[in-house]
Copies of this chain bind each other. A is one copy, B any other.
Amino acid sequence: MFFTSQTTSDGVSERHFTLDDIPGVLWSPPGPRDGRPVILLIHGGGQHKTAPAVLGRVGRVTARGFAAVALDAPGAGDRPKTPRDDQFAAGLRQRMAAGEPVGDEVAKYNAEVAARAVPEWRAVLTALEADGQVGGDAPVGVWGVSLGAAIGVPLAAAEPRIEAAVLGLASHDTLVEAAAQVTVPVQFLLQWDDQLVPRDEALALFDAFASPAKTLHANPGPHAAVPAFEWDSAAEFLARHLSPQPAP
């Protein structure tokens, strides 16, 4: 793991790093690292590790004293695109130009990206711990919707260090299977008029989580129209479940 740059804004340090060929960013607020929760911020499709939608979450997370990590997903941001990535993007443009539905293609591609991204996230978390950037006892949360949930659901299923998850705006057979393995608290976002994710499939995915503490937040509007108050609520949810308990 190599740290390549560091800047500080309002006391929050932003350190860019690479692990093998994976570029990432670690944001750390002032204060001791020991026991400080860290949130894995997984960007959506067509975005990257410092997209505005990611930075909006960084502010909400670091304001609560938590650290945050973002990576470029395979084929996104600063990472090279494979022929399959280019083929997907070209096909998506064609179908959208023709006014055809794209939800199935997006879900299938996202599942392929997730199969590569999940082990990357686990390796980065291990490397950040080994480097002392994240405390070994740090509660870990994951926050990803759309492509971020296509990665986040199987990541939460596979990674026992994750203790809470904000997910949503996604559905796929592989996600339903993974959700049945997730037992940590989940806040799940659903857009009632999502043009990419059929409502009944999104409800079935929420239903599939094995978590005793799962909560569904649904709002009207299309895929990308999640209201801002849901991002505040998501940060509150993570704080409720990850904040260190005061000693008795």
Give the copy number. Answer: 2
Other-chain contact of A240, B212, B213, B229 (Cβ < 8 Å): B229
Shortest distance in angstroms between A225's beta carbon and chain B's nearest beta carbon? Answer: 11
Q: Is A108 an interface residue (CB 8 A)?
A: no
Query: A218, B216: Cβ atoms under 8 Å?
Result: yes
A residues 165-218 near B (Cβ < 8 Å) are 190, 192, 203, 206-207, 212-218
- Chain B residues contacting A219 (CB-CB under 8 Å) are 214-216
Other-chain contact of A192, B190, B207, B240 (Cβ < 8 Å): B207
Shortest distance in angstroms between A230's beta carbon and chain B's nearest beta carbon? Answer: 8
Q: Is A30 an interface residue (CB 8 A)?
A: no
- Chain B residues contacting A240 (CB-CB under 8 Å) are 229
Besides A212-B220, A233-B233, 5 new A-B residue pairs in contact (Cβ under 8 A), listed by A number: A190-B216, A203-B203, A215-B219, A218-B218, A229-B240
Residues of A within 8 A of B (CB): 190, 192, 203, 206-207, 212-220, 227, 229, 233, 240
